[in-house]
Amino acid sequence: MSLNPLDLTVIDSHAENIYEAIVVLSSRARQINEEMKIHLNQELEMFSTRMDSDEEIETNPEQMRISIEFEKMPKPTQRAVDDLLSDRISYRYKED
């Protein structure tokens, strides 16, 4: 996995200032992470872990496939940056 540097001026142009952009990105990344966790748990809920007499956990190939698919998905932070740069994030301040 390679790291690609981000131009902060590009991120800054999608918000009032860079600090606001970072807060928006972190909030969106947390939101994406929670959605991914819920989806993964729903997918894996179908499979139950079985124990044999030696107390070894049997590996289910379908469960492994699902886990590998989730590992290959883009990370929540990268998805949040992509959302911000393509203007798919809208945010507003809470009103008093």
What pLDDT, in 10s, does the model give residues 13-28? 998 899 999 999 999 9
Domain total of the chain: 1
Task: Please check the confidence at residue 11 and state whether its pLDDT lies above 60.
Answer: yes
Q: Would residue 48 count as lying in a domain?
A: yes
Confidence at residue 55, expressed as pLDDT on a 0 to 100 scale: 57
Q: Would residue 1 count as lying in a domain?
A: no
Alpha carbon 95 to its chain's center: 28
pLDDT in tens, 59-91: 788 888 888 999 999 999 999 999 999 999 988
Q: Would residue 55 count as lying in a domain?
A: yes
Q: Would residue 53 count as lying in a domain?
A: yes
Q: Would residue 92 count as lying in a domain?
A: no
- Secondary structure letter of residue 86 according to DSSP: T
Q: Please tell me the distance from the alpha carbon of residue 92 to that of residue 94, in angstroms, as a whole number.
A: 7
Task: Please check the confidence at residue 58 and state whether its pLDDT lies above 70.
Answer: no
pLDDT in tens, 33-55: 999 999 998 888 877 555 444 55
Cβ neighbors of 65 (< 8 A, separation 6 or more) are none
pTM of the model as a whole: 0.79
Task: Please check the confidence at residue 3 and state whether its pLDDT lies above 80.
Answer: no
Residues paired with residue 57 on neighbouring β-strands, in sequence order: 51
Q: Please tell me the distance from the alpha carbon of residue 95 to that of residue 8, in angstroms, as a whole number.
A: 28
Task: Please check the confidence at residue 92 and state whether its pLDDT lies above 70.
Answer: yes
